[in-house]
Chains A and B, each alone.
Chain A
Amino acid sequence: MSVPETADGDVGPETVAVSPGRDIFVGALSLVGGVLVLKYGLGLPPAPGGGPGSGLVPAIIGALASAVGAILMLLALLRLRRESAGGRSALRRQVGVVAWLRRPGSLDVVAVLSSIAFYIAFIEILGFLITMATVQFGLMVKFRWPPISSAIISVVSTVVLYYVFNKLLFIPLQDGVLGPVL
């Protein structure tokens, strides 16, 4: 299991407690998602003989997800009530989205996610070598590593990856604009 981290951001095996607000959100998400999956499953055609068809398993998953979500929400609401009665400001911790964006490292995380999105968008046009080197260079610079060193490492590691995966493992990595040269 990965190192659990609380909604407040403390990482460590001892800190598995999550705020009731987060549990309510998770429960609601499971409930709504479950209902949608249940509806989708019930809408699938029955078996040719009239028995349970392709929709049976999705419908069961949807029903279970909504039930589990509802129970989680209920338990979290009871916990929230108990903590509020005990004078603890459980609600204060729920305003997490703004706090999340203000946390140190949040822009680095956004950079990682954006770089993968950039790779998906440009891989067919630019090809593996250019796109991957750009992604790695961008990430290293964003993580405050010197630009010249970043450029060298990103080019070398991209070429190594290309050689290993494309030439040794025969994975057809995209050539892109460098196609005529490669």
Chain B
Amino acid sequence: MINDVVAATQDVLTLETMVTILLAGTFGIVMGALPGMTATLAVALVLPFTLFMDPITAIAAIITMSATAIFAGDIPGALLRIPGTPSSAAYVDDAYLLTQSGRGHLALGGGLLASVLGGLFGTLVLILLAPTLGRFALRFTSYEYFWVAVLGLCTAVVVSQGSQLKGAISLLLGLLVATVGIDIMYGVPRFTFGVTELTGGIHFIPVMIGLFGISQVMVTLFSSDGRNSTPKSIKTKGMVRDSAKGVFRYKGRLLTGSATGSGIGALPGAGSDIAAWVAYGVTKSTSKRGSMFGRGRGELEPIVGASSANNASVGSAYVPALAFGIPGDSVTAIMIGVLLMKGITPGPNLFTSETPTLYSIYMIFILANLVLLPLGFLAIAGSGAILRIPQPVLLALIVAICVVGSFAINNSVLDIGFMLAFGIIGYFFITSGIPLAPVVLGIILGPIVERSFMQSMISSGGDLSQFVTRPISAGLALLVLVALAVPTVQHLVKSRSRGHAEEARSSSESTLDKDESRRLP
């Protein structure tokens, strides 16, 4: 083990990797701070660069960029009430109100510290859980992989905020998109309608750029009513001290947020967006001041809770990616692609035959979170300059980058058409309260579900009972059932307790009425 750690240290601590970490961190901060740009989009745009890098350097670029971009999404959120990344949307109102009341340094500095500590917590979870899961994954066959992927699909819908039915619609659209092209098992073209370019399927990058980038431009244009045109200045003097004090005050929130983020991030199919919303919900429902969140002069508590969850999920999302080769979110999906391109196969073998690479990944995570601290404080101090790009120029630039980014994946103009179509669909989804993330997760997990299902059916001669009679399969199937039952049970418990509360209120009101009538002459 010591030899592996030494080898990993030698791989990571090279000039090329360190410079890449700094550059990727800076690029991630800039991209995350630009409204409409997501951590996934930042990673997608830098993907072509990774083709020319060594494996460890390429991994360092992606990990650092996703960690810094997720934090940087808080900057335009706090200053302009436009979340820079989808995961910053959960607490954007609290951060904006804090800035409006002259405490923007606390909103951003506190968020940064919580992000760094949450990120380190998520890395710890990755280091501690991934090896165990990796060894366990050696016993997995196509039946078990099928259920793990189905569990990912289910959790993506179950923890979607708002209506689970709408989360299901979003997911089904993603699964449908994943079926376009030549069928992987029998070679039959599906939904190609005679268009040759469609036989290769629809790549998830243009879909994602359209869903998140173009739809965000549309949302921004519709909400440009002048309320977000004047950013307040950020006090940089004493920012570090005040932020540390603020975060220390809510250390309990930091722990619950990091734990929630790590837990959700480790689920295949979830991600930092869902982690932030769930952590925000947990903080709100358990805080004494929960009713004040998103109103008044702004609160730091939900920012600490949700911001730590954001970055904790970045690390833990690699648990299923490294252990099973199943992406935890869109960024890890891209990362898996890069690893495969570089000849590294994620999955159980990573823990037995490629341990130096594994330890390098752990080290990169720690370095990425440590680099985030100085870069983040510099970005906060200089955020005024980034955000002073006038909105008309910024929006036109976003459209240009979206167009080029979509084209760059396959060098196909058809992909720009897909981006446009999914931009419109994304806006329709946002205005209809339909979550966007399950579409991307459906595209990523769809082929895994179909391949493992069809392989299992062929190997068992069509015997469906094999899916539930094998011990691990049965356990995973049970987990899927539990995941599906949770919202229904929660709904029933909530409506029952609401019914009891209403009964108690009406009986106390009638008692009061009687007392009142007795007192009246």
| A45 x B86 contact (CB < 8 A) | no
Q: Given B273, B401, B436, B453, which contacts A161 in the complex, CB threshold below 8 Å?
A: B401
Q: Is the CB of B162 within 8 A of A4?
A: yes
Is the Cβ of A2 less than 8 Å from the Cβ of B430? yes
| Minimum CB–CB distance for B360 against chain A, Å | 25
In the complex, the answer to whether B172 meets A65 with C-beta atoms within 8 Å is: yes
Contact with A along B445-477 (1 / 0, CB 8 A): 010011001100110001000000000000000
Contacting A at CB under 8 A, from B414-469, are 416-417, 419-420, 423-424, 426-427, 430-437, 446, 449-450, 453-454, 457-458, 462
Say yes or no for A9: interface residue by CB 8 A criterion.
Answer: yes
Evaluate whether A1 and B432 lie within 8 angstroms (CB atoms) in the complex, with A109-B222, A116-B403 already known. no
The answer to whether A4 touches B48, judged by C-beta atoms less than 8 angstroms apart, is: no
The listed residue with most B CB atoms (<10 A of its CB), out of A34, A54, A75, A145, is A54
Cα distance, A1 to B160, chains bound together (Å): 9
Given contacts A11-B219, A116-B403, contact A6 B431 (CB under 8 A): yes
Bound form: Cα–Cα A71–B223 in Å = 32
Interface size on B, residues (CB 8 A): 86
Contacts of B222 in A (CB 8 A): 5, 9, 11, 103-106, 109
Q: Is B481 an interface residue (CB 8 A)?
A: no
CB <8 Å contact, B89 and A2: yes
Q: For the complex, what is the distance from the CA of A54 to the CA of B87, rounded to whole Å?
A: 36
Q: Name the contact of A45 in the complex, choosing from B188, B424, B454 (C-beta under 8 A).
A: B188
> Which residues from chain B contact A9 at a C-beta distance below 8 Å?
222-223, 431
A58 with B176: CB separation less than 8 A: yes
B86 contacts A132, C-beta separation under 8 Å: no
- Report the interface size for chain A: residues with CB under 8 A from the other chain: 78
Q: Cβ of A115: which chain B residues have Cβ within 8 Å of it? A: 399
Q: Does B411 contact A (CB under 8 A)?
A: yes
The residue of chain A having its C-beta at the shortest distance from the C-beta of B96 within the complex is: A12
A169 lies within 8 A of B408 (CB): yes
Question: For residue B432, which residues in chain A have a CB less than 8 angstroms away from its CB?
Answer: 7, 18, 22-23, 25-26
Q: Give CA–CA (A47, B454) in the complex, Å.
A: 11
Contact yes or no, B393 A113, CB < 8 A: no
Q: Which residues of A contact B188 (CB under 8 A)?
A: 44-45, 53-54
> CB within 8 Å of B: which of A24-63?
25-26, 30, 34, 37, 40, 44-45, 47-48, 51-58, 61
Complex Cα distance, B166 from A17, in Å, reads 12
Q: How far is the CB of B410 from chain A (nearest CB, A)?
A: 10
Tell me whether A54 and B185 are in contact (CB under 8 A): yes
In the complex, residue of chain B having the shortest beta-carbon distance to the beta carbon of A66:
B172
Are the CB atoms of B179 and A61 closer together than 8 Å? Answer: yes
B431-A5 in contact (CB<8A): yes
Most chain A beta-carbon contacts within 10 A, residue among B48, B86, B393, B401: B393
Q: Which residues on A sit within 8 Å (CB–CB) of B449?
A: 57
Chain B window 196-214, contacts with chain A (Cβ cutoff 8 Å), 1 for yes, 0 for no: 0000000000000000101
Task: Report whether A173 and B392 are in contact in the complex, using a CB–CB cutoff of 8 Å.
Answer: no
Q: Which of A5, A13, A150 contacts B219 (CB 8 A)?
A: A5
Contact A120 B190 (CB under 8 A): no
List, in ascending order, chain A residues with CB within 8 A of B407's CB: 171, 173
Is B168 positioned at the interface, with any CB of A under 8 Å from its CB? yes
Q: Determine the distance from Cα of A53 to Cα of B223 in the docked complex, in whole angstroms.
A: 47
Contact of A112 with B169 in the complex, beta carbons under 8 Å: no
0/1 string, A159-182, CB within 8 A of B gives 1 = 001000100011111000000000
CA distance A171 to B48 in the complex (A): 9
The residue from A22, A34, A113, A143 contacting B392, defined by CB atoms under 8 A apart: A143
A119–B416 touching, CB < 8 Å:
yes
CA distance A13 to B83 in the complex (A): 11
Q: Is A16 an interface residue (CB 8 A)?
A: yes
Interface positions of A from 106 to 140, Cβ below 8 Å from B: 106, 108-109, 112-113, 115-117, 119-120, 123-124, 132, 135-136, 139-140
Contact B404–A173 (Cβ < 8 Å): yes
Would A112 and B183 count as touching, CB distance under 8 A?
no
Across the interface, do B183 and A40 meet the contact criterion of CB distance under 8 Å? Answer: no
B391 an interface residue at 8 Å Cβ cutoff?
A: yes
What are the residues of chain A within 8 A of B166 when measuring CB–CB?
A: 26, 72
Assess the A1–B90 pair: CB atoms within 8 A: yes
- Other A-B contacts than A2-B89, A7-B432, A135-B399, 10 sampled, CB-CB below 8 A, are A3-B219, A30-B169, A45-B186, A54-B185, A57-B449, A136-B400, A139-B395, A139-B396, A139-B399, A140-B396
8 closest A-B pairs (Cβ-Cβ)? A143-B392, A54-B188, A145-B392, A54-B183, A139-B396, A18-B433, A169-B48, A105-B221
Residues of A within 8 A of B (CB): 1-7, 9, 11-14, 16-18, 22-23, 25-26, 30, 34, 37, 40, 44-45, 47-48, 51-58, 61, 64-65, 68-69, 71-72, 75, 103-106, 108-109, 112-113, 115-117, 119-120, 123-124, 132, 135-136, 139-140, 143-145, 150, 153-154, 157-158, 161, 165, 169-173
